[in-house]
């Protein structure tokens, strides 16, 4: 196409907030705007999520629809806002601009009526999408089949999943004293397994999550729970021995952003083997992959990293090197630019 790509990214934070990754894209020659809202940092109940998050998702998607003629492509960095935009694109019969739903996930719902409604809505909306980007190479075929999409529309695109922005080399965060294991994540984490493993590993563990995710978990006394964001979390990453990521459901992507954050700081990882973790971790090379629900193995892997600091350090170096070569913001910006150009060169969805 002639001229720079004009892209609008739909995000879950305020538009005036600094986002170094978008600057990397602009350096690649992409004309980028962002459209977001002042989303709250976390929630404690499902009702709170519905009443505070969903109106903002709706607002971002609707505003994107009314601004669509200014862009070549709409990038749903936040998939719900992207699908709200896609809904209006579909019912209006609009073919342009192109739509990419990024970081697509589709967790199962227990309520069969809600599940059926959600499936119908998502399948309808994805009919307006020109590309669907997944967290995992194994998900490409699964999501294509599930939503009856052409395989060429669905792709695994590794990307910066949070605003890591190379904190590990930033002067904004200074190393401090820390000697602990770190675990970070939301309601998809198997904190019951971590609690059971922690009993067998009497070593300080810091858990970063919302309180609602651990309200029924009986952690031993050497586990400390934090409800913090941003640089406070990055400081915890910087000074951790390694990062533990226990995951409930091995069949859905989870933990990728935490993995990349750990990699950026040169930390080894212990993580549940899932459809996505196998794309990032090679067992005993840059961390440990543990079968779902295996508390004994999870605990023994944590002990191994504590007892073998040289091997742990070597794993961490490999992760840092892999982050710089494959997942750092400049590299991912180039990858996303190339993928956007491919979408724009193809036939509209």
For the chain (349 residues), the mean pLDDT of every run of 10, in chain order, is 86 84 90 89 70 89 96 93 95 93 84 90 94 90 92 85 52 65 96 98 96 93 92 90 96 89 94 95 97 98 97 95 89 92 83
| Cβ contacts of 316 within 8 Å, gap of 6 or more | 242, 265, 266, 267, 268
| Residue 15: burial class (beta carbons within 10 Å; 0-12, 13-18, 19+) | middle
Q: Which two tokens stand for residue 199?
A: 């009993």
pLDDT of res. 349: 56
CB atoms within 10 A of CB 169: 12
The DSSP code sequence of 143-162 is HHHHTT--GGGEEE-----S
CA distance 324 to 218: 38
pLDDT of res. 165: 47
Domains and CATH numbers, the chain: 6-160+329-345 (3.40.50.2000), 167-327 (3.40.50.2000)
Pairing of strands 269-272, 223-226: unpaired
CB atoms within 10 A of CB 321: 13
Residue 221 phi/psi, 5-degree rounding, is -65, -20
Across the beta sheet with 131-134, the strand order is: 31-35, 6-10, 73-76, 98-104, 131-134, 154-156
Q: Give the chain's length.
A: 349
pLDDT of res. 110: 79
CB 246 within 8 A of CB 189: yes
Cα–Cα nearest to 321, from 241, 245, 267, 255: 267
pLDDT of res. 167: 56
CA distance 317 to 310: 11
pLDDT of res. 348: 65
CA distances from 183 to 40, 100, 243, 313, 331 (A): 22, 31, 6, 18, 26
Q: Which two tokens stand for residue 341?
A: 């150009």
Return the residue matching tokens 């089949």: 145
CB 305 within 8 A of CB 268: yes
CB 221 within 8 A of CB 201: no
Cα–Cα nearest to 173, from 260, 226, 239, 268: 239
């Amino acid at each position: 196409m002639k001229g720079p790509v004009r892209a609008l990214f739909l995000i879950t934070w305020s538009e005036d907030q600094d986002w170094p990754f978008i600057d990397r894209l602009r350096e690649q020659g992409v004309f980028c705007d962002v459209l977001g809202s002042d989303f709250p940092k976390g929630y404690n109940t499902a009702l709170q999520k519905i009443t505070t998050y969903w109106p903002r998702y709706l607002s971002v998607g609707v505003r994107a629809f009314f601004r669509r003629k200014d862009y070549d492509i709409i990038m749903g960095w936040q998939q719900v806002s992207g699908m709200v935009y896609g809904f209006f694109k579909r019912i209006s019969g609009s073919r342009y601009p192109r739509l990419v739903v990024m970081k697509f996930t589709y967790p199962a719902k227990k309520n069969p009526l809600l599940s059926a409604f959600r499936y119908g809505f998502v399948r309808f909306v994805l009919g307006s999408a020109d590309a669907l980007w997944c967290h995992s190479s194994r998900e490409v075929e699964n999501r294509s089949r599930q939503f009856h999409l052409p395989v060429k529309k669905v792709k695994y695109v590794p990307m910066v999943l949070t605003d890591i922005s190379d904190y590990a080399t930033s002067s904004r965060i200074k190393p401090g004293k820390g000697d602990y294991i770190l675990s970070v994540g939301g309601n998809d984490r198997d904190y019951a397994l971590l609690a059971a493993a922690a009993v067998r590993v009497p070593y300080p563990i810091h858990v970063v999550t919302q309180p609602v995710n651990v309200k029924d978990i009986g952690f031993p006394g050497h586990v400390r729970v934090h409800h913090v964001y941003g640089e406070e979390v990055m400081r915890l990453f910087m000074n951790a021995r390694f990062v533990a990521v226990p995951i409930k459901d091995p069949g859905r992507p989870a933990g990728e952003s935490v993995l990349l954050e750990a990699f950026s700081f040169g930390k080894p990882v212990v993580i549940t083997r899932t459809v996505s973790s196998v794309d990032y971790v090679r067992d005993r090379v840059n961390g440990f992959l543990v079968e779902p629900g295996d508390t004994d193995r999870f605990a023994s892997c944590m002990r191994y990293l504590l007892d073998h600091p040289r091997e742990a350090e070597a794993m961490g170096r490999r992760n840092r090197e892999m982050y710089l070569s494959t997942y750092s913001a400049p590299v991912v910006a180039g990858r996303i630019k190339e993928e956007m150009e491919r979408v724009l060169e193809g036939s509209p969805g």
